[in-house]
Structures are given as C-alpha cells and as structure tokens.
C-alpha cells in the first residue's frame, strides 16, 4: 500500500518517535543511548529512503533499521568491555548454594503461574529494573536470547564469546533475574494476598 | 550424583541447546525428587514465556511501561532531520 512517494520524514518523529524509543529502551535500558539510536535510525532511514519498497509498513521498516543499530551497539559494548571474571563467576557471598551445591535458600513459591504478567505495568517496571541491574554483558545476552529470540550462534558473534561462555552468561543472567523478580515482585505480592 | 547447583546450570543450558542424553537423564531424575530445582525450572520457563509474550506485543509494552521520548529529544531529532 505505502509507496516511496508517501514517505514523509517530517512526520516521522511524531508518528514513530515514541514507539521506536520504547522499543529501544526495553533493549538498551539507557535513555540517552536509546535517544541517540532513535535519532540515528531516522537519519539512516532518510538517506536510505529510496530503498523503502513499500512491501512492509513504514514502522516495520524503521524498526528493522533500529534493530541493526541495537546489534551494532551491543557489538561495540562487547568490544569496549569484554567478558570479565565477574560475568562468568558468582561471588561466593552472593551464591544461592553452599559449598556442596545445595540451595542455601531455595526459590520461594510464586503462587501459581500467572500467565498475564506481561500485561501488568507494575510487573514490567520491576522486570525492567531487574534487567538493568545485571552487568551489561549479562543483560545484553539475555536481551538477544529472550527478547529478540536470537539463536546462540548469532549471539556469540555479536558479543564475541564462545558458546560455552554464552551458556554460562545466560545461566547467570537468568539466575540473577529470577532472584531479583522474586524479591521485588513475587514475594511482595504473596505477602499482600493472604 | 548431580547437585542442585549443577542442575540449575543444566536447566538453563537446556533452554539454549539440547543436552547430551546422560546429562538430560540426570537432570530429569533430579527434578523428580527436588522441589526447589523443579520450582526453579518452572520459574525460568515462566520468565521466558512472559518475556516472549511481551516482545510479541511490543505495542502493549509501549502503552503500559510508557516512557516517552522527551520533547527535548524530539526537537533535537526533528532538527537533525531537517538539516542532515
């Protein structure tokens, strides 16, 4: 339906600015980086206007460009701050396990499996908060794997890590995220509801 | 015998690739008898499921966790588009 001639860059910011910004915020967790990448997305789109085929919608096309910018940003971050010991090894004081590998305090009962969590604003706020508490390498790996649904081979290339290290990072990301959500959401929720 | 610490690692790995048979069986046997580890697995799968639904409904996330692009940033971007 949409044709090249119909692209109107002067309206982009009003029509797609907030949408692209939220898309970027969920993945980047940093307001100023997200703003920059949205701006770069519009600028790239402007100069690549001619390549817009009109087969996909304008917003899908813009999101596609933004996705590339986000991957590039992750690549750059991985180059500037490569995997460290802190990403791969749990500090003993923070471990959930004793010396023989038993739980010191196991996961608490979350009370059923609420299927509609993704619709709850307060939960999403806590999720975003917990994700931003992970180290950048852990959070970026989790984002690529679970939000973007990328396969492990692609993620290894972006983050420049071996597959074995990626499994370790994802394991640590999931464990920390789970614990954070338990503390900040599920435990509080079951306290409130008898 | 696998410890709970080993099993949590295998649970996560099994979400990223299929485990070799021996490890898979060891993990499943442990999960049959360990309340904490099976709870852990359920919770990781719940988180995965929630995040996937969230990603599939990007617009919903926008309307819920609605941080907006600031007016200042919008102005800046408009300007850069006008004078590339």
Q: What is the mean pLDDT of chain B?
A: 90
What pLDDT, on a 0 to 100 scale, did the predictor assign at position A188? 83
Which residue from A39, A109, A171 is facing B77, i.e. has the nearest CB? A39
pTM, two decimals, is: 0.90
Domains of chain A, CATH where assigned: 4-80 (1.10.1740.10), 85-192 (1.10.10.10)
CB contact under 8 A, A21 and B69: yes
A19 touches chain B (CB under 8 A): yes
Nearest in space to A172 (alpha carbons), one of A127, A142, A128: A142
CB contact under 8 A, B50 and A103: no
A120 touches chain B (CB under 8 A): yes
What pLDDT, on a 0 to 100 scale, did the predictor assign at position A53? 80
Q: pLDDT (tens digit, 0 to 9) for every residue of chain A, 194 residues total?
A: 444 446 788 899 999 999 999 899 989 999 999 999 999 999 999 998 888 887 788 888 999 999 999 999 999 999 998 888 888 887 767 789 998 999 998 999 998 767 788 888 889 889 999 999 999 999 999 999 999 999 999 999 999 999 999 999 999 999 999 999 999 998 887 665 54
Residues 6+ apart with CB under 8 A from A173: A134, A138, A139, A141, A142
Query: For residue B7, with 0-12 CB atoms within 10 Å meaning exposed, 13-18 middle and 19 or more buried, which class applies?
Result: buried
Summarize pLDDT for B44-80 with one digit per residue, the tens. Answer: 999 999 999 888 877 555 555 667 899 999 999 999 9
**CB contacts < 8 Å between A and B, how many?**
154
**Does pLDDT of B24 surpass 80?**
yes
A141 close to A155: Cβ distance less than 8 angstroms: yes
A138 close to B39: Cβ distance less than 8 angstroms: no
3-state secondary structure at position B3:
coil
Q: What is the ipTM of this complex?
A: 0.89
Three-state SS string across B15-84, please?
Answer: CCCCCCHHHHHHHHHHHHHCHHHHHHHHHHHHHHHHHHHHHHCHHHHHHHCCCCCCHHHHHHHHHHHHCC
| Tokens, residue B12 | 């996560």
| Tokens, residue A84 | 């460290």
Give phi and psi for B67, each to the nearest 5.
-80, 135
CA A24 to CA A63: how far, in whole Å? 9
More confident: A40 or B1: A40
What pLDDT, on a 0 to 100 scale, did the predictor assign at position B16? 96
User: How far is CA A166 from each of CA A26, A155, B42, B44, rounded to the nearest angstrom?
Assistant: 21, 8, 22, 17
Which site among A7, A8, A26, A132 would you substitute to test the B interface, given the most B Cβ atoms closer than 10 Å to its Cβ? Answer: A26
Three-state SS string across chain A, please?
Answer: CCCHHHCCHHHHHHHHHHHHHHHHHHHHCCHHHHHHHHHHHHHHHHHCHHHCCCCCCHHHHHHHHHHHHHHHHHHHHHHHCCCCHHHHCCCHHHCCECCCCCECCCCCCCCCCCCCHHHCHHHHHHHHHHHHHCCHHHHHHHHHHHHCCCCHHHHHHHHCCCHHHHHHHHHHHHHHHHHHHHHHHHHHHHHHCC
What pLDDT, on a 0 to 100 scale, did the predictor assign at position A113? 66
What pLDDT, on a 0 to 100 scale, did the predictor assign at position A5? 47
| Tokens, residue A81 | 């701050």
What pLDDT, on a 0 to 100 scale, did the predictor assign at position A43? 95
A187 touches chain B (CB under 8 A): no
Reported confidence tier of residue B84, pLDDT bands at 50, 70, 90:
low
């Amino acid at each position: 339906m949409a044709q090249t001639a119909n692209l109107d860059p002067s309206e982009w910011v009003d029509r797609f600015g907030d949408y692209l910004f939220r898309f970027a915020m969920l993945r980047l967790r940093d307001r100023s980086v997200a703003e920059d990448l949205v701006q770069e997305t519009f600028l790239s789109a402007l100069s690549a206007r001619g390549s817009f085929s009109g087969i996909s919608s304008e917003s899908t096309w813009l999101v596609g460009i933004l996705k590339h910018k986000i991957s590039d940003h992750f690549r750059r971050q991985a180059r500037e701050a490569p995997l460290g010991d802190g990403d791969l090894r749990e500090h003993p004081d923070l471990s959930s396990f004793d010396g023989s590998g038993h739980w010191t305090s196991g996961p608490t009962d979350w009370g059923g499996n609420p299927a509609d969590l993704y619709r709850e604003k307060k939960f999403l706020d806590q999720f975003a908060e917990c994700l931003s508490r992970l180290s950048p390498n852990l959070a970026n790996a989790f984002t690529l794997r679970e939000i973007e649904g990328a396969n492990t081979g692609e993620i290894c290339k972006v983050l420049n890590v071996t597959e074995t290290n990626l499994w370790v990072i994802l394991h640590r990301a999931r464990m920390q995220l789970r614990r954070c959500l338990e503390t900040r959401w599920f435990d509080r929720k079951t306290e409130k509801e008898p | 015998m696998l410890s709970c610490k080993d099993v949590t690692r295998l649970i996560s790995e099994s979400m990223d690739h299929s485990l070799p048979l021996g490890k898979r069986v060891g993990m499943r046997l442990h999960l049959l008898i360990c309340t904490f580890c099976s709870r852990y697995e359920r919770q990781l799968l719940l988180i995965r499921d929630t995040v996937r639904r969230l990603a599939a409904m990007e617009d919903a996330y926008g309307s819920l966790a609605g941080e907006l692009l600031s007016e200042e940033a919008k102005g800046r971007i408009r300007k850069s588009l006008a004078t590339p």
